[in-house]
Structure 1
Amino acid sequence: MKQIFRSKTAFVLGWVWLAFVALNVWDLIARYTGKPSLVALAVLAVLTSLVYAIALRPATVFTEEGLLGRNPFRNTFVPWAAIDDVSVSHAIAVRHGDEQVLRLWTPMSSARERAKAQRRGMVPERRGRFQTEPTLPKAEQAAAEAFAGRTHADWVGDQIRERAEKARLRDETAAPVRATWSWDSIVFVAATVVLFVGVVAFG
């Protein structure tokens, strides 16, 4: 079963940008003024290609066979049995092979998100005889402390680690790691840049 993890914020903002571009394209066509309109359309095309590559395309994909890291301009597939270690800081780093490291573009954990996660696990102080907040049961308090400081990226990192360990326990043969260029992103960005240069130079 395939599981896909993305940055929700980047994904939503990417679609908001597409809606903004659609409205502007309609307005520029309706009020066409020659070269200025063409230049504006070309600028929107370049920015949209970058938004696609950076915000909409990146994903971390779990398949039955392994982990697919879909970064802006690169696809890397690592079989579960080939994963040696996983660490999480700002981004998830997956170590495999001869000290090779795959840094996943998403999900990432910002300092703000980590601080928010840390606060979630803090138990409110008891002030005075009359408490304004209910006291958590011991089980819920233990769960909150266990998850203190843990972000979505930490959780995904744990899932990768668990799947890699299960693959090793099954004594699976590590298939080769495959890395390929993301030609859709490359062609899209290159085409829009060429379009922009052409419009500015010859439009």
Structure 2
Amino acid sequence: MTSPSPEQEYADRRYRSPAGIAGGVLLLALAGWLGGDAVARGEGSTPWLALAGLLCVAPLIIAFTLRPAVFAGASRLLVRNPFRTITLPWASVDAVRAGYSSEVLAGGSTYQLWAVPVSLRKRKKAARGGGEAAPADQTVAELQELAERGASREDAKGDVGVRWAYEVLAPAGVGLVLFVVLLVVG
């Protein structure tokens, strides 16, 4: 006699934009190169201005290119956008859709999925060719299916949680203040 096997648990599915990551790495390399050159060869207050500028710009580059991600687990959806992290239990998700951008609707609010970029060009190409759907549309369909399946789970209930990303905002703000102070002081 065999006993029923317990439901198998899988790791969270992770969705990110490969183009965003590549662009972020290139922008960080460019900022590091230009900032490093200004620090190494600059005279007067230039090295300090370059360091303050890097302190302001690097977190913003990371926030808009490397940070965005969507994690879909068995009981919740975690959306990491540039300046916020949104935790959505599956029971609170009303819909996942992709129009001009990918979005999650929950509790009367709409949250953008920065990590799932919509390409209207790929969508039109898929519609004309009758081939497979655009990547964003596939991801949104997957997330909608996970939301429908996970909504009935007992651990998928709760309120939507929104947390500001102070780990991005604080260094960028400090860098901006330092940059302005150094400019004013001369």
Q: TM-score, normalised by structure 2?
A: 0.83
How large is the Cα RMSD of the aligned pairs? 2.1
Who is 1:113 aligned against? 122
How far is 1:200 from its partner?
A: 0.6
Who is 1:59 aligned against? 69
Say whether residues 1:160 and 2:143 are aligned partners: yes
How many residues are aligned here? 176
Q: More displaced, 151-160 or 168-177?
A: 168-177
Who is 1:10 aligned against? 20
The structure with the larger Rg is: 1
Give the 4+ runs in structure 1 shifted more than 4 A.
Answer: 169-173
Who is 1:73 aligned against? 83
How far is 1:67 from its partner?
A: 0.5
SS of 1:194's equivalent in the other structure is helix
Give the conservation status (yes or no) of the 8 Å contact 1:60–1:104: yes
Say whether residues 1:101 and 2:84 are aligned partners: no
Who is 2:7 aligned against? none
Q: TM-score, normalised by structure 1?
A: 0.77
Say whether residues 1:188 and 2:156 are aligned partners: no
C-alpha distance in structure 1 between counterparts of 2:17 and 2:72, whole Å: 15
Who is 1:25 aligned against? 35
How far is 1:183 from its partner?
A: 0.9
Give the conservation status (yes or no) of the 8 Å contact 1:85–1:95: yes
Give the conservation status (yes or no) of the 8 Å contact 2:13–2:72: yes
How far is 1:116 from its partner?
A: 4.0
How far is 1:92 from its partner?
A: 1.7
Give the conservation status (yes or no) of the 8 Å contact 2:91–2:152: no
C-alpha distance in structure 1 between counterparts of 2:28 and 2:156, whole Å: 43
Say whether residues 1:83 and 2:93 are aligned partners: yes
SS of 2:151's equivalent in the other structure is helix
Who is 2:183 aligned against? 200
C-alpha distance in structure 1 between counterparts of 2:72 and 2:134, whole Å: 18
Who is 1:176 aligned against? 159
How far is 1:41 from its partner?
A: 3.6
Which residue identity does 1:111 align to in structure 2?
L
How far is 1:169 from its partner?
A: 4.7
C-alpha distance in structure 2 between counterparts of 1:169 and 1:182, whole Å: 30
C-alpha distance in structure 2 between counterparts of 1:34 and 1:65, whole Å: 56
Who is 1:130 aligned against? none
Any idea what the Cα deviations from partners look like across 1:88-124, whole Å, max 9, x if unmatched?
Answer: 1122221222x222221121113333334445x35xx
Who is 2:3 aligned against? none
